[in-house]
Amino acid sequence: MNSKIVCVYSVLMALILGSCEDSGTMSADGSLSSSSGEGLSSSSVLSSSSVTKDWFNAVISYGSMTDSRDNQVYKTVVIGTQTWMAENLNYTPSSGNFWCYKHFASNCAIYGRLYDWSTVMAGSASSDASPSGVQGICPSGWHIPSSAEWTVLRDYVGGASTAGTKLKANSSLWETNTGTDDYGFSALPGGYCRSGFNGVGSLGGWWLVPTDSSPNSYLWDMYGDLADASLSYYATTYGFSLRCVKN
């Protein structure tokens, strides 16, 4: 079955099976839930630097950056003329809508947080410039990529038809592992949140800056069983991942 069809089916099932905002408590296995739907405190969630990460490309020379807001450390990677975070953002904003996948702290530590689009933007105006100039919830000195910046990345690694393969982590975290991670981008299948959680293991999606007057926005997504990286259109209330680019 085509992955795009599977995604639509998953959304419909999510509406039936549950909500991202199911209430609950912290258990011994590290699972967390929030009745407010506004995320979980940074003091109760594992940091991105607190787990062993064996999915990075061992032959790539990664850099690192520390987010001064919470002291979390992220790997970074230079690809062409751009410097990207090589991990998804795991920052806890002071307000907005954001989640750990299925409210498990361990999922935040691996995949980063899922944010809705307005939380990512933090009140900033849209831009399709390259660089976008929109910091949003990215750390100081970093910004949210525009579609133009994603296009620069996609073209540098060989074009849309194979960008998914070359940018995905070569890891069993992908249920269908077709990633070669040639450039150290190490994309992971963090899934999404929309009236429930779906897609971990099969889908990764990352928000972009631009939007329009409708309640929708764009993101780049990758599927485990597909070689491409696609520009897709989703409601801004979905929770997806975020990668930041250095200014």
The pTM of the full predicted model, rounded to 2 decimals, is 0.82
Q: How far apart are CA 117 and CA 211, in angstroms?
A: 9
DSSP-assigned letters across all residues of 180-200: --TTS--B--EEEESSSEEEE
Three-class DSSP labels, 32-58: CCCCCCCCCCHHHCCCCCCCCCCCCCC
> Sign of dihedral through CA atoms 201, 221, 187, 59?
positive
* Residue 49: per-residue pLDDT: 60
* Residue 132: per-residue pLDDT: 83
* Residue 210: per-residue pLDDT: 77
* Residue 236: per-residue pLDDT: 92
* Residue 47: per-residue pLDDT: 62
Q: How far apart are CA 54 and CA 150, in angstroms?
A: 25
* Residue 66: per-residue pLDDT: 98
Question: Are the CB atoms for 108 and 100 separated by under 8 Å?
Answer: yes
Q: Over its length of 247 residues, how does the chain's per-residue pLDDT go in tens digits?
A: 444 443 444 444 443 334 576 433 333 333 343 433 444 433 344 666 667 899 999 999 999 999 999 999 999 999 999 999 999 999 999 999 999 999 999 999 999 999 999 999 998 877 777 788 889 999 999 999 998 999 999 999 999 999 999 999 999 999 999 999 999 999 999 999 998 999 999 999 999 987 766 677 889 999 999 999 999 989 999 999 999 999 9
